């Protein structure tokens, strides 16, 4: 950790649910103030989320963010003018296969297309749409492990989660770290100059590959083991705590 004390952080990457947002899906005044101070210091603040652009842009506006937005686990990158910079699609045949898998195992599911999020339903003509992510919610541990293994053995799917009870599937090679690498190249910095904060396995790649990987106190154990530092929980403005310690 001693060499990390000398890090110069130029970009803060923040997961939203379970990290930036409290359990009511709100942003604390402490988090808002810390983010504002970081931006005033010239530090980029980037939301790096599993959410779609449509369900995250209001938070970016509320925080008056002036940098990029990494959405759907790195499937898309947007700029602050709401222009799409990059997009990685999941093949429709994989969506059909995963929907069949959810029916076979009788799980709840959702799917993110380029224009909406489908909860518990899917369009009749899946191949007429462009897709970014498929998600399973599975309460039973053995069923969830079975589905995870099927997804991983497919070889064309990036598997993660945003809670211990779900599975998130993106196009192979799509994750938040890869999205942030593109953002770093756009703003002229390296991943060594990034502080990434998260709580779930869809944050694992960015926490491992950033100069400073921060896990929330409420994070999943695997993420905590991979992080450089553990901050307070999302209920206790852990994001602000990390920003004050490492950036301000």
Strands of the sheet containing 84-87, edge to edge, are: 84-87, 76-78, 69-71, 44-48, 11-14, 194-198, 212-215, 229-230
Longest dimension (CA), the chain: 56
Catalytic residue at 228? no
CA distance 97 to 154: 10
Number of other residues whose CB lies within 10 A of the CB of residue 168? 24
DSSP SS3 for 155: coil
Burial of 117 (0-12, 13-18, 19+ CB in 10 A): middle
Query: Per the residue annotation, which of 15, 17, 203, 228 is the catalytic one?
Result: 15
CA distance 121 to 55: 18
List active site positions: 15
């Amino acid at each position: 950790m001693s060499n990390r004390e000398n890090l110069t952080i130029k970009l803060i990457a923040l997961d939203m649910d379970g990290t930036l947002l409290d359990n009511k899906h709100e942003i604390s005044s402490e988090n808002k103030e810390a983010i504002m101070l970081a931006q005033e210091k010239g530090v980029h603040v980037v939301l790096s989320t599993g959410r779609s652009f449509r369900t995250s842009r209001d938070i970016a506006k509320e925080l008056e963010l002036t940098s990029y937005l990494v959405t759907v686990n790195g499937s898309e990158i947007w700029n602050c003018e709401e222009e799409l910079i990059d997009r990685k699609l999941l093949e429709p045949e994989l969506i059909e296969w995963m929907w069949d898998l959810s029916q076979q195992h009788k799980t709840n599911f959702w799917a993110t297309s380029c224009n909406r999020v489908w909860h518990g339903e899917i369009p009749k003509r899946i191949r007429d749409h462009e897709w970014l992510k498929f998600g399973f919610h599975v309460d039973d541990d053995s069923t969830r492990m079975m589905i995870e293994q099927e997804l991983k053995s497919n070889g064309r799917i990036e598997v993660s989660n945003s809670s211990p009870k779900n599975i998130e599937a993106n196009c192979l090679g799509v994750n938040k770290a890869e999205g942030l690498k593109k953002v770093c190249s756009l703003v002229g910095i390296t991943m060594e100059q990034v502080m990434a904060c998260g709580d779930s396995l869809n944050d694992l790649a960015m926490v491992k590959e950033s100069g400073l990987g921060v896990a929330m106190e409420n994070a999943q154990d695997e993420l905590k083991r991979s992080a450089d530092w553990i901050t307070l929980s999302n209920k206790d403005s852990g994001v602000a705590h990390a920003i004050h310690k490492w950036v301000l």
